[in-house]
């Protein structure tokens, strides 16, 4: 079995890189809930390449926002309701914003050697991993990519990725592996990188926590915890866990079947989470209640 770190990035590249030979279609993946909770942006390679789509929560009507051979990164939302995504090409990320109903996209930033750009709640800062994996450095910059600075020392052996802002913009959460093949955990820190603290203490038998997402009130995080086996992918399994700031963790909708519940995104009501899951046979976007009692498939 490979470490969770390697699995994470293999999965990340596969999800964003278009349909792979012999792999099922990612019909709905990497969901992001809109600020008003009425839409979910997601990535899909249903037509052969990874593009950004938006689904309405009521009725499920889907709008395709991008249509290109490029690999779009995970979508995010701005406070004004626009969808943000990045395109990776020639070792550079270009960050765009577009209306949720479609139309021309506006270029926001061009940042070399960057993946996973996240825009701060006030719309003024970018948070991203800069440099080549596994030597990338968590970095913050102005929204246009200027005045970039590393949040942590570039000479540390820790690998840091999947960084996201807290709702008030004062803190960040991120996945961290202390060594290349070390276990994954979710950490939190102040927005300037100070006071880093390991948050998760989930048993390693459950897998490695990653892909954090803050609850709307900033008091909890939803994280993805999975066990992945390169040689026996049919046995891969993952759950969503809810972790409060005192590190108390609860597994959401426990299951003993080998399917994947991953990449959580909170609804603004704090009672539901959008996830990607292959519980119905292929990767789709689902909406689950935080008590784990209700689950509705959004994309089909």
What pLDDT digit, counting tens, does each position of 261-299 carry?
999 999 999 999 999 999 999 999 999 999 989 999 999
**Quick check: helix, strand or coil at residue 133?**
coil
> Was domain 4-297 assigned CATH 2.160.10.10?
no
**Quick check: helix, strand or coil at residue 7?**
helix
Does 178 or 299 have the greater pLDDT score? 299
Is residue 65 within 8 Å of residue 110, measured between CB atoms?
no
Confidence of residue 18 (pLDDT cuts 50, 70, 90): very low
- Residues 260-286 as b/e (b if ≥16 CB within 10 A, e otherwise) read bbbbbbbbeeeebbbbbbbbeebbbbb
**Is residue 212 scored above 60 in pLDDT?**
yes
d(CA 279, CA 274): 14
d(CA 95, CA 117): 8
Quote the pLDDT of residue 132.
72
Nearest C-alpha neighbor of 84 from the set 130, 46, 112, 121:
121
What pLDDT digit, counting tens, does each position of 135-176 carry?
778 899 998 888 999 997 655 668 888 999 999 999 999 999
CB count within 10 Å of CB 195 equals: 9
pTM score, whole prediction: 0.89
Chain-centre distance of CA 107, in angstroms? Answer: 21
Rounded to a whole number of angstroms, the CA Rg of the chain reads: 17
Average pLDDT of 172-191? 89
**Is residue 37 scored above 90 in pLDDT?**
yes
Pairing outcome for strands 39-44 and 29-33: antiparallel
Is residue 63 within 8 Å of residue 83, measured between CB atoms?
no
**Is residue 42 scored above 60 in pLDDT?**
yes
Quote the pLDDT of residue 7.
34
Is residue 79 within 8 Å of residue 123, measured between CB atoms?
yes
């Amino acid at each position: 079995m490979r470490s969770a770190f390697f699995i994470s990035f293999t999965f990340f590249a596969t999800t964003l890189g278009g349909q792979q030979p012999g792999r099922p279609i990612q019909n709905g993946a990497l969901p992001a809930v809109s600020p008003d909770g009425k839409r979910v942006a997601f990535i899909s390679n249903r037509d052969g390449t990874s593009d950004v789509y938006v689904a309405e929560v009521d009725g499920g009507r889907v709008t395709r926002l991008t249509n290109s051979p490029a690999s779009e990164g995970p979508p995010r939302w701005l406070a004004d309701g626009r969808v943000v995504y990045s395109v990776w090409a020639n070792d550079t990320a270009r960050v765009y914003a577009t209306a949720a109903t479609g139309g021309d996209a506006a270029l926001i930033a061009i940042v070399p050697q960057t993946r996973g750009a996240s825009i701060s709640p006030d719309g003024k800062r970018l948070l991203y991993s800069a440099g080549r994996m596994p030597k990338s450095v968590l970095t913050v910059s102005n929204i246009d990519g200027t005045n970039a600075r590393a949040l942590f020392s570039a000479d540390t052996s820790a690998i840091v990725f999947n960084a996201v802002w807290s709702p008030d913009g004062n803190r960040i959460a991120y996945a961290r592996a202390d060594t290349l093949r070390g276990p994954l955990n979710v950490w939190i820190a102040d927005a300037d990188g100070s006071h880093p603290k390991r948050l998760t203490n989930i048993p390693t038998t459950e897998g490695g926590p990653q892909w954090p997402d803050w609850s709307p009130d900033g008091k909890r995080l939803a994280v993805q915890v999975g066990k992945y086996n390169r040689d026996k992918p049919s046995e891969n399994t993952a759950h969503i866990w809810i972790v409060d700031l005192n590190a108390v963790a609860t597994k959401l909708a426990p299951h003993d079947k080998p399917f994947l519940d991953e990449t959580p995104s909170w609804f603004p009501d704090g009672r539901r989470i959008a996830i990607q899951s292959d519980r119905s046979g292929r990767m789709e976007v689902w909406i689950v209640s935080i008590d784990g009692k209700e689950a509705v498939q959004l994309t089909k």
